Structure 1
Amino acid sequence: MTDDAAPGLPDLRASDADRERVAEVLRDALAEGRLDMTEFEERLEETYKARTYRELAPITRDLPVAGFTSPAVVSLHKEPPQEGSWAARIVGGEGSSTWAVAVMSGFQRRGRWTVPRRFTCFAFWGGGEIDLREANFAAGEVEINCFAIMGGMQITVPPGVEVVVRGIGVMGGFDQQETGVPGDPDAPRVVVGGFAFWGGVGIERKKTRAARRQERLDRRAAKRELRSSSRDEDGEDRRPTLEGHEDRGLGHGLGHGLGAGTADPRKEQRERRYGN
């Protein structure tokens, strides 16, 4: 970005993604012969040292973007996140609720709700359900602290979310099966902590009901298409066979029903007996 391209705007801080985009332009320029190795290394070093858009802009000012003839510039404006993407689900704010308690009872957090940066829940002789499959997130990393005393809690996360378990159990425990599963790019990170005594915190990864229902519909449609294709192929394979049987049946009927030149043995016997 140049000062002329955006007059009056402050000198904003560049992100790692901005620096990586500039580095990609430099790599393309090196491959196309627009930069020699010395120039490439110098500009690449400047790129990773740059802290603002003002420092990044001159690095690619004389280089074209791949597929275009205009100079490459760093965009100052963020593109709106696509609907349904992880970026669209990280909404900021304070969250729908920050705590929950169940004493000889239960609580639920599920459906469309916003997970705060830190959510704390407590269960004594009770249980709780925390479902994040349709939830939004106040930040890219959220912390859920569970304290289960002779009770239990169940946390359900959607595919793609990274889970880190740091809870401690005494005669109880925290489910570790989702620990170490890598998350999708830009997906939120869920850190589960707390304490369990004679209780437990379960963590499972499940798709939304809508996603599972759509998968079932897709499988049924694929099976119907396969059965229809199989019936069509069977019909084409059997048709010549049936036609051959019809031809042979017709010839057989003509031979026996109409004689087709075949003599009657009883008639010959009568003719020999009476001398005719």
Structure 2
Amino acid sequence: MNDERPEKPLPELRASDADRERVVERLRDAVAEGRIDMEEFEERLETAYTSKTYAELEPLTRDLPAPGGPPMPLAAAAPAPVAADGSWASRIGGGGVPASSSAAVAVMSSFQRKGAWTVPPRLDAVAFWGSGDLDLREANFAEREVVINCIAIMGGIQITVPPGVEVDVRGFGFMGAFDQRDTPGPVAPGAPRVVVTGLAFWGGVEVKVKPPKRPKPLGGGPKLRKEL
């Protein structure tokens, strides 16, 4: 009769730092894809970093798809420059609009959204010991009014908008700041409205106004000779 004791079950094994980081990475992907909201992300994140065994880590990702599945981009849209008459109609609504809520998260890291992307009706941007860059100059907008909720904790988030966009900054800074140094100027007819709200704690959220980047000419242009 074999009376050897069975091996210790996997859930009772101690989790390593690498195991916890793998769970945190999956949670970051989940919140960026809109599978869980920011409140639930923060709760699971705290549990992940305090978990000691696999049994404590496993429930945190049990309802999430396995890693390596089909990617779900935050936003994808074809380039849509402003019309020649300055109209914004081609950049608001239409195809490629993402889900009603999305997120961009940087935990001791960074995130960036620029070029031709679609700003969802509500975007939760979180920078915890990290930085974020949201460039709206070439972006499309899911709706006429979008809300960017920024949480900057010992980190910074920069939002760049083109001239003519209506900007409403409502954020609260506690030992931090919500800073809008530039003014967008007169609001263009039909231009989107960007509401920036949230909290900056030992961090900052800055709104800048810059014109869209001009495309570089193909093949380069003729070089000018310096006159002596």
* TM-score normalised over the length of structure 2: 0.54
Which whole-Å CA distance do the structure 2 matches of 1:210 and 1:180 have between them?
A: 18
Following the alignment from structure 2 to structure 1, what is the Cα–Cα distance between the partners of residues 176 and 184?
21
Q: How far apart in 2 are the matches of 1:180 and 1:208?
A: 13
Q: Give a deviation string over 1:194-222, Cα, whole Å, max 9, x none.
A: 000000011111122226x68xx99x99x
Name the SS of the counterpart of 2:187 in structure 1. coil
Deviation at 1:153, TM superposition (A): 0.5
Q: Which residue of 2 aligns with 1:185?
A: 189
Greater helix fraction, Structure 1 or Structure 2: 1
The answer (yes or no) to whether the contact 1:108–1:128 under 8 Å persists in 2 is yes
1:162 Cα deviation from its structure 2 partner:
1.2
Amino acid of the residue matched to residue 166 of structure 1?
Answer: R
Following the alignment from structure 1 to structure 2, what is the Cα–Cα distance between the partners of residues 149 and 162? 26
| Residue 160 of structure 2 is aligned to residue 156 of structure 1 | yes
Task: Tell me how far 1:183 sits from its aligned partner.
Answer: 1.2
Aligned to 2:108: 104
CA contact (8 A) 1:117 1:141 kept: yes
- Relative distance call for 1:152 and 1:135 in structure 2 (3 A) is same
- The code of the aligned residue for 2:91 comes to R
SS of equivalent to 2:132: strand
Q: Deviations over 1:47-85 (max 9, x none)?
A: xxxxxxxxxxxxxxxxxxxxxxxxxxxxxxxxxx95773
- Is residue 99–residue 121 contact of structure 1 (8 Å, CA) maintained in 2? yes
- Which of 131, 135, 139 in structure 2 is aligned with 1:135? 139
**Residue 102 of structure 1: how far off its partner (Å):** 0.5
1:45-124 equivalences under 5 Å are 85-92=87-94, 94-95=97-98, 98-124=102-128
Higher normalized contact order (CA 8 Å, seq sep 6+, divided by chain length): 2
Query: What is the count of residue pairs matched by the alignment?
Result: 140
- Report if aligned partners of 1:134, 1:208 keep a CA contact under 8 Å in 2: yes
Determine the C-alpha separation between the residues in 2 that align with 1:82 and 1:157.
17
Paired AA for residue 98 in structure 2:
G
**Whose strand fraction is larger, Structure 1's or Structure 2's?**
2
| Paired letter, 1:187 | A
Q: Contact 1:163–1:178 at 8 Å: present in 2 too?
A: no
Which residue of 2 is the match for residue 208 of structure 1?
212
Name 1:167's counterpart in structure 2: 171
**Contact conserved, 1:164 with 1:179, CA < 8 A, in 2?**
no
After TM superposition, which residue ranges in structure 1, 4 or more long, deviate above 4 angstroms? 81-84
**Does the C-alpha gap of structure 1 residues 195 and 136 become closer, same or farther in structure 2, counting only changes over 3 Å?**
same
CA-based RMSD of the aligned residues comes to 2.8
- Give the superposition deviation at 1:182: 3.0
For 2:125 and 2:112, locate their aligned partners in 1 and report how far apart those are by CA, in whole Å: 11
CA distance 1:168–1:107, shift in 2 (3 Å): same
1:179 Cα deviation (Å)?
Answer: 5.5
Unaligned runs of 5+ in 2: 1-81
* Cα contact 2:129–2:155 (8 A) shared by 1: yes
Q: CA deviation at 1:176?
A: 2.5
Alignment-derived partner of residue 45 in structure 1: none
| Larger radius of gyration between Structure 1 and Structure 2 | 1
